[in-house]
Amino acid sequence: MELLGSTQTATYARPRTSNFLPAISTMASSYKSHYPHFALTHSINQPWRTNMFYKTASAIPTLASIQRVPPDLTKAKVNFYPSNRSALVNRYTPDDWHKSNQSNYRESESSRHSAERLRRDTTRLIQDKEQLTRRNQESTNKNIGERINDIAFWRSELTHETGNMIGEINTLTDVKKRLERALAETEGPLQVAQECLYHREKRMSIDLVHDEVEQDLLKEVEMIKSCQERMRRHLDRVNAQLASNRAAQHELERDVNDKAEAHRIDDKCHQLRNTSDGISYYRGVERLDPSLSIPDSWAKFTDNNILRSQSERAASARLRDEVEILLNTTSNEMWNQFNTVNVAFTNRMAETADAKNNLQTHLAKTLQEIFQTEMLIETLKKSIRDKESPLKVAQTRLEERTRRPNVELCRDNPHHRLVSEVREIGDTIQKLKERLRDAEDTLQTLVRTKVSLEHDLSVKANSLFIDQEKCMGMRKSFPSTPRLVGYT
């Protein structure tokens, strides 16, 4: 017998899982509301007592304190009866069951609709990209075809210009041969003038040139030599022009060959199709090479080659005209001067004497200037040496300040001033050195002038002796005009 007033308690074991509602979805939301394990305060070994004599212990937990019910579900009302005291209390109502089914239906429909949209969008994307790829390939084929036409146009222009250049080279080569023969023919008149001026050839240095003073005597030899020199210069120009023409021809031919190869490659590329043999992957070939040319530079390169060839042809034509004029002019000048070679010897000797006196005066002035320039050079050297110590001080200060630690190594005002000082001193030394070099060059020029003046004095004395003693006696037996013109 139990005492009246004591509370009948029972302990419930963990509910059997067979009394739970079955899972209706594989989603995690179907397993959110399981009951946790809990123990009631009643003793299972004691008989059941109705509550008419006993009150239920307050230690029995409620469902609200041991589970979380989704907000959209209605909590079921649970009654405990002696007949189901060991069974699991029902967790959901039929409305909850139907709501769960409807939620799964809606989720399934949403997933199917998303998959259908993805499938339609993917199909449309594949079609769009296929059309884009086809349009791009057609555009590329069109561009390659236009490129082939451009190459063919420039190739024809280059071929035409190459033919014109070859013709100009052949014409200029004929002119070159004529100029070489004319130059060889000047040796005959030169030998006649040299026989007459044999003793005058013993003059030294500057007196061997033709000037206004000796124009009547020296002009014959100098004219022939001048004509020969002009012929040689024109011959060098002709050779240089031929080299330039051949270089332009070489550039044209190389450009033609390159365009022929490019035409072959582009034509091969234009004929390639998706079903062609020999197509393959070349990873990275689409990367931009900055060294490649662009259409503007490509067209400009060929246009420049053609313009260069045309310019060389124009220069070659002008040179041919100049050579023709030169041949006629030199022929007239040599024969006209030959007839006036015996004039004004007396005036020449007087002028030579005056020149000798003037040279002596200039030599004295030059010696004085040499002395003053040497003093200037010594002054500049001393000034440069005086700048070395301030430069060393400034550079040493800069070098010492570079050892300042951490943040103290600051480009402050003293640093900027030292850098400016080093630069200013360096510029000063550089300017002084440049001025020293100018002074030294001037000194060398003065020394050369002095040597030249001294040499000219000896030359003038020798020339006076030759003109007075040698040439005047020889000119008396100079051949007559008919013999000079070759009549006899």
Residues 77-110 pLDDT 10s:
445 444 444 445 567 898 989 999 999 999 999 9
The residues facing 10 across adjacent strands are: 42
pLDDT tens digits for 339-385?
676 676 677 777 778 888 888 888 889 889 999 999 998 998 888 88
- Does pLDDT of 124 surpass 90? yes
Token pair for 265 = 């490659």
Asked if 335 and 190 count as a contact pair (C-beta separation under 8 A), the reply is no
Token pair for 458 = 């000896």
Within 13 Å of residue 100, how many CA atoms lie on the same side as its CB? 21
Cα angle 109, 112, 116; round to 5: 135
Residue located via tokens 């059309």: 131
Which residues, other chains included, contact 249 with Cβ-Cβ below 8 Å and sequence gap of 6+?
162, 165, 166, 169, 309
Tell me the percentage of the chain whose pLDDT exceeds 70. Answer: 70
Q: Which structural domains are found in the chain, ordered by start?
A: 353-485 (1.10.287)
Asked if 231 and 182 count as a contact pair (C-beta separation under 8 A), the reply is yes
d(CA 423, CA 416): 11
What does DSSP assign to residue 406?
Answer: G
Tell me the percentage of the chain whose pLDDT exceeds 90. Answer: 22
- Does pLDDT of 12 surpass 60? no
Closest CA to 31 of 78, 86, 100, 109: 100
Higher pLDDT, 192 or 132: 132
Model pTM?
Answer: 0.46
pLDDT tens digits for 189-216?
677 667 666 776 676 766 765 655 466 6
Which residues, other chains included, contact 418 with Cβ-Cβ below 8 Å and sequence gap of 6+?
394, 397, 398, 401
- Does pLDDT of 48 surpass 90? no
pLDDT band at 73 (very low <50, low <70, confident <90, very high): very low
Higher pLDDT, 3 or 313: 313
Mean pLDDT score of the chain: 76
